[in-house]
Structure 1
Amino acid sequence: MKLPIDYMVETFVALANIPSPTGNTYRVMEWIKEELTRLEISYTVTNKGAVLATLPGKNDERHRLLTAHVDTLGAMVKEIKSNGRLKITLIGGFRFNAIEGEYCQIETSNGRIITGTILSTKASVHVYADAGKMERTEEVMEVRLDEKVKTKEEVLALGIQVGDFVSFDPRATVTDSGFIKSRHLDDKASVAIVLGVLKKIKEAGETLPYTTHFLISNNEEIGYGGNSNIPDKTVEYLAVDMGAIGQGQTTDEYCVSICAKDSSGPYHYGMRKHLVQLAEENGLYYQVDIYPFYGSDASAALRSGYDIIHGLIGPGVDASHSHERSHREAFENTAGLVDAYLRSGAVE
């Protein structure tokens, strides 16, 4: 049975269009729960709000866990300025220049959605000589609201308060040439891929060799998405996240990237060799890479003291934590490796 790549791409677009900055993921987690219910896959919900789905396997003594995270970069209202604009504080590891000019929305505590645009305080080149030279920092970036407000009091009257979440317009687009360009490919692409593999397994009536858990985490961007709620019998832990592209990297937008090392250190050598062998045996286009400024849910689990074999793979994503882009082929290769891994023997 073929992997449902169209389903995966469509699922990614649906997920991308549900705002879910870390700390405000309720709506997207509801979508995940509804989809798992539709696929007839049992799950539990953790105290942190993550979803843990389980497929019983032939071997129930040695468990596996796969994780992908649905929380994204975002921001919060830091200050309501006297001129009716907002100062924001960032959620996740990115820079202000990555969101300059982006449309956004503010969700008030009573659920009202108010739109705006993220700009520098010197956005107009017709007024400010140093508009291009000014360093983009929290002090010089602001949200221009799409409301007729000129004072702090008028903004407060809209219901906006300090601590309200700010989400960025994903602008998810699928091109005729197979590119998927959007914010939040990290890591909603991998969530869609995992769901697609689950759909294939359920529809084919397969039983996996090992009982396997699927953790859809919701706090990865701030470092503790998958560092808890790992079932006791778990031996192998595979994070499905994104592969970072840039100068000096082997990863591109078409491969499944297999991580050898990130900022936390090397990943389990046996797991890495196992994944490479599976990719080669199944004719998948892959690259092995090192991500110098990166950490995954798998490395977070190790830091929490879990005695596990850990690995990290994902579709190649260009311009990570900015205007991201991948390709349908990366979805195919990543899904193929996830599927092959789930059906494979134990990591030596």
Structure 2
Amino acid sequence: MNYNEEQIKYYLSNILTTPSPSGYTKKVIAYIKKELDIIGVSYELTNKGCILVTLPGKDKQNGRVLSAHIDTLGAMVKGIKSNGTLSLAAIGGYMMNSIEGENCIIETLDGKEFTGTIQSIKPSVHISGDEARELKRTVENMEIVLDEKVFCREDTLELGIEVGDFVSFDSRTVFTPSGFVKSRHLDDKASAAILLYAIKYLVDNKIDLPYTTSFFITNYEEVGHGAAAIPHNTKEFIAVDMGAPGLDQNSSEYAVCICAKDSSGPYDLETRKKLIDLCRKNDIPYKIDIYPYYGSDASSALRAGWDIKTGLIGTGVFASHGYERTHMDGILATLDLVINYCKED
């Protein structure tokens, strides 16, 4: 199919560079709402702050849902130390070494923003030698060094920084000439951009859908309850998230990855077969894989008690929950599967 790759990159860049740690996603939600207004499609905002776009289909009883989440990893200020630096509490699951040396933004309750850098408590080998190298990277051994002239706890408090303020990480988004996308938070902002473009494609091309299909942009996936509430007529739920290429895995950055099983158990076999058949029929590159330490919005919907069939797909994202990488080939393959799934009777 003929997709506008530059439009996809435009959505992806804007979503990736708008901070949205779990619990503080209003800015990226506002951006997506603005783009939906430009597309000219109606949407609703759930009580929890998710976006739901519903495109009517011929069958209104057996609804389909495709989800992507825009909440990301991040942190909160846990404490203010005697020297004015900040201790932090993690939001989501990541390795502390993956954020060491990263620039960050602290936003106060009244909307002021301050920048800083996440460092270990022994950041210099010239001072600490092997102790700096061997220091265990735990949350207790990490801190935020503010880009402000602070020398004590009182100096930091005077800035307006308090315990509970949100901390977002610099996404460091890069699009390479060879088609790679390098950035934090490709999990799952790549999929959010894919679904936003899919909505535009379906609306602009006036494609008739066999089933009423909802696009669900959730905001609490990283903490486990993003899709705990879904449209009441949902019969089939596809989480558009990511594949995880790496050691002993079958996933690829250049294909759509279809998950057979993750930490929540097997995904619906009939749904998986349907997704694979769509890939084969439409020459979409795909990989099937299993992720032992992974959960999705489909998992949270099942745990909430919904009687639904579920699937999980997404572009392969290397170094997930770190400084991540994917390729436009994988993004386009995932988009192609999403579009063909929506059209499939």
Question: What's the TM-score, normalizing by structure 1?
Answer: 0.98
Residue 227 of structure 1 is matched in structure 2 by: 228
Residue 166 of structure 1 is matched in structure 2 by: 167
The Cα of 1:42 is off from its aligned counterpart by: 1.1
Counterparts of 1:10 and 1:119, CA distance in 2: 32
Counterparts of 1:99 and 1:70, CA distance in 2: 19
Q: Secondary structure at the match of 1:302?
A: helix
Residues 3 and 196 of structure 1 are in contact (CA less than 8 Å); yes or no, is this contact kept in structure 2?
Answer: no
Counterparts of 1:71 and 1:255, CA distance in 2: 24
The answer to whether 1:118 aligns with 2:118 is: yes
Counterparts of 1:271 and 1:44, CA distance in 2: 27
The Cα of 1:3 is off from its aligned counterpart by: 2.2
Residues 5 and 196 of structure 1 are in contact (CA less than 8 Å); yes or no, is this contact kept in structure 2?
Answer: no
Unmatched segments (≥5 aa) in structure 1: none
Counterparts of 1:14 and 1:162, CA distance in 2: 29
Letter in 2 for 1:233: N
Alignment of 1:79-158 (within 5 A): 79-129=79-129, 130-158=131-159
Q: Secondary structure at the match of 1:31?
A: helix
Residues 64 and 236 of structure 1 are in contact (CA less than 8 Å); yes or no, is this contact kept in structure 2?
Answer: yes
Residue 47 of structure 1 is matched in structure 2 by: 47
Counterparts of 2:140 and 2:111, CA distance in 1: 27
Alignment of 1:9-88 (within 5 A): 9-88=9-88
Letter in 2 for 1:326: T
Counterparts of 1:242 and 1:8, CA distance in 2: 17
Q: Secondary structure at the match of 1:94?
A: coil
Letter in 2 for 1:196: Y
Residues 3 and 197 of structure 1 are in contact (CA less than 8 Å); yes or no, is this contact kept in structure 2?
Answer: no
Counterparts of 2:46 and 2:126, CA distance in 1: 52
Identity value in percent: 53
Q: Deviations over 1:73-101 (max 9, x none)?
A: 00000000001100000000112111000
Counterparts of 2:176 and 2:108, CA distance in 1: 34
Alignment of 1:328-339 (within 5 A): 328-339=328-339
The Cα of 1:206 is off from its aligned counterpart by: 1.1
Residue 294 of structure 1 is matched in structure 2 by: 294
Deviates further, 186-195 or 129-138: 129-138
Counterparts of 2:128 and 2:172, CA distance in 1: 29
The answer to whether 1:344 aligns with 2:340 is: no
Counterparts of 1:64 and 1:253, CA distance in 2: 26
Root-mean-square deviation (CA, aligned residues, Å) is 0.8
Letter in 1 for 2:210: P
Residue 5 of structure 1 is matched in structure 2 by: 5
Q: Secondary structure at the match of 2:320?
A: coil
Residue 216 of structure 2 is matched in structure 1 by: 215
Counterparts of 1:238 and 1:120, CA distance in 2: 39
Letter in 2 for 1:109: L
Q: Secondary structure at the match of 2:261?
A: strand
Q: Secondary structure at the match of 1:326?
A: strand
The Cα of 1:61 is off from its aligned counterpart by: 1.8
Counterparts of 1:158 and 1:113, CA distance in 2: 10
Question: What's the TM-score, normalizing by structure 2?
Answer: 0.98
Q: Deviations over 1:240-297 (max 9, x none)?
A: 0011111111111111000000000000000001000100111011000001100000
The answer to whether 1:266 aligns with 2:266 is: yes
Q: Secondary structure at the match of 1:306?
A: coil
Counterparts of 1:234 and 1:167, CA distance in 2: 34
Q: Secondary structure at the match of 1:314?
A: strand
Counterparts of 2:193 and 2:94, CA distance in 1: 23
Q: Secondary structure at the match of 1:288?
A: strand
The Cα of 1:25 is off from its aligned counterpart by: 0.5
Count of residues in correspondence between the two structures: 344
Residue 245 of structure 1 is matched in structure 2 by: 245
Residues 316 and 330 of structure 1 are in contact (CA less than 8 Å); yes or no, is this contact kept in structure 2?
Answer: yes
Residues 242 and 313 of structure 1 are in contact (CA less than 8 Å); yes or no, is this contact kept in structure 2?
Answer: yes
Residue 184 of structure 1 is matched in structure 2 by: 185
Q: Deviations over 1:83-121 (max 9, x none)?
A: 110000000011211100000010011111100000001
Deviates further, 31-40 or 176-185: 31-40
The Cα of 1:5 is off from its aligned counterpart by: 2.4
Q: Deviations over 1:118-154 (max 9, x none)?
A: 0001110001021111101122110010000010000
Counterparts of 1:47 and 1:234, CA distance in 2: 18
The Cα of 1:4 is off from its aligned counterpart by: 2.4
Q: Deviations over 1:158-209 (max 9, x none)?
A: 0100000000000000000100000000000000001111111111111211
Letter in 2 for 1:295: G
